[in-house]
């Protein structure tokens, strides 16, 4: 069964850090491009970053500098290191995977990614 399972979310104070993990099963993550998205209450799904099979990352402009996406293909795992957290980072964070690279201008749309996890909640308090 093809699955993505996120973990590492929780509650953190502003200025703190969290590392999210996304473990793939049922397929080899190394053969897929992978991404992080988030959705805050009452807001639309927002692309955070994606990383191609070779490990090259692309970030949403607003995420550049505080977030770092990485992958460990041997562990079939995707990571998101989040620093200097802000209350506006509060959201459900999802990982996603795609066999083919997304269009550069449309990487942050849901339909570009075919496999999705169920999410992990991140709550940042001021």
- In DSSP notation, 81-106 reads EE-S--GGG-EEEEEEEESSPPPGGG
What confidence tens digit (pLDDT) does each residue in 16-52 have? 999 999 999 999 999 999 999 999 999 999 999 999 9
Supply the pLDDT for residue 47: 96
Tokens of 29: 């993550």
Supply the pLDDT for residue 64: 81
Give yes or no for a contact between 79 and 70, defined as CB atoms under 8 angstroms apart: yes
Backbone angles phi, psi at 38, to 5 degrees: -145, 155
Specify whether the backbone of 76 is left (phi greater than 0), alpha (psi in -120 to 50) or beta: left
What confidence tens digit (pLDDT) does each residue in 91-118 have? 999 999 999 999 888 898 899 999 999 9
Give yes or no for a contact between 112 and 106, defined as CB atoms under 8 angstroms apart: yes
């Amino acid at each position: 069964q093809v699955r993505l399972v996120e973990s590492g979310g929780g509650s953190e104070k502003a200025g703190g850090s969290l590392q999210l993990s996304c473990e793939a099963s049922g397929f080899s993550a190394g053969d897929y491009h992978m991404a992080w998205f988030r959705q805050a209450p009452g807001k639309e799904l927002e692309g955070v970053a994606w990383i191609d099979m070779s490990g090259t990352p692309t970030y949403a402009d607003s995420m550049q500098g505080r977030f770092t996406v990485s992958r460990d293909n041997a562990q079939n795992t995707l990571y998101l290191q989040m620093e200097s957290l802000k209350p506006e980072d509060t959201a459900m964070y999802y990982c996603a995977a795609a066999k083919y690279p997304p269009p550069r201008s449309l990487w942050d749309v849901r339909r570009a990614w075919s496999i999705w996890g169920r999410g992990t909640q991140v709550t940042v308090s001021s």
